[in-house]
Amino acid sequence: QVQLVESGGGLVQAGGSLRLSCTASGSIFSINAMAWYRQAPGKQRELVATISSGGSTNYPDSVKGRFIISRDNAKNTVYLQMNSLKPEDTAVYYCNADVRQFSVIMYKTYWGKGTLVTVSS
């Protein structure tokens, strides 16, 4: 099986920065796209950033210019550098990854359990 584990969440003041990490482990042959999502209390989960296996990135306007997604393919890890944080960035942040396991042809999307980011005003 495959597991994704996020880390790096916490409490930060508005204007501050945090760096989230998410590492995939298990029987992994290759990883295609990786992404970060977030879910604030009472709201739907929303996309924060995506990165392809080749390093192409995409962001919604709400975080563009403030958040940076990157990955280390050798470590099966994706990062989210969050700068100029705002109280509205408060949410549980989840990573996901499209993973192909050994002896399996298809890619499957796996999710982490999330890490809480709280931004105080």
Percent residues over pLDDT 90 in the chain: 97
Specify the pLDDT at position 34.
Answer: 98
Helix (H/G/I), strand (E/B), else coil: 112: coil
Mean pLDDT taken over the chain: 97
Specify the pLDDT at position 114.
Answer: 98
Specify the pLDDT at position 2.
Answer: 96
pLDDT tens readout for residues 64-111: 999 999 999 999 999 999 999 999 999 999 999 999 999 888 999 999
Contact residues for 2 (Cβ-Cβ < 8 A; gap 6+) = 24, 25, 26, 27, 28, 97, 99, 101, 108, 110
